[in-house]
Amino acid sequence: MKVRAVVVFLGRVQGVNFRAYCAEKAESLGLDGYVENRWDGSVEAVFEGDRSMIETCIEWNKTSQPYARVESVEVSWSDPKGEFRGFRVRR
């Protein structure tokens, strides 16, 4: 069953290639959506796909990003909107 997750990663997540690594992982898991920097220094990602794959992606970004230090994560779940094809980095 497909779901949508809006995820905000807080910590040292800008200027460390977080978005590129996040997009690479999301694509490898077959997820759709995007990742972008926010004005407050956090990074927001919207994932659509299988819930277990999204949870895997969130966990990977929390613990396995090579240069980032994620201090906390906020996640809100909802029904998918189907507006994305593939996963991309937004500015």
Catalytic: which of 12, 37, 51, 88? 37
Catalytic: which of 12, 17, 19, 69? 19
- The rounded distance, in Å, linking the Cα atoms of 1 and 48 is 10
Residue 38 a catalytic site member: no
Residue 37 a catalytic site member: yes
- Sheet with strand 43-50: strands edge to edge: 69-78, 2-12, 43-50, 32-37, 87-89
CA atoms within 13 A on the CB side of 28: 9
Q: Active-site residue numbers? A: 19, 37
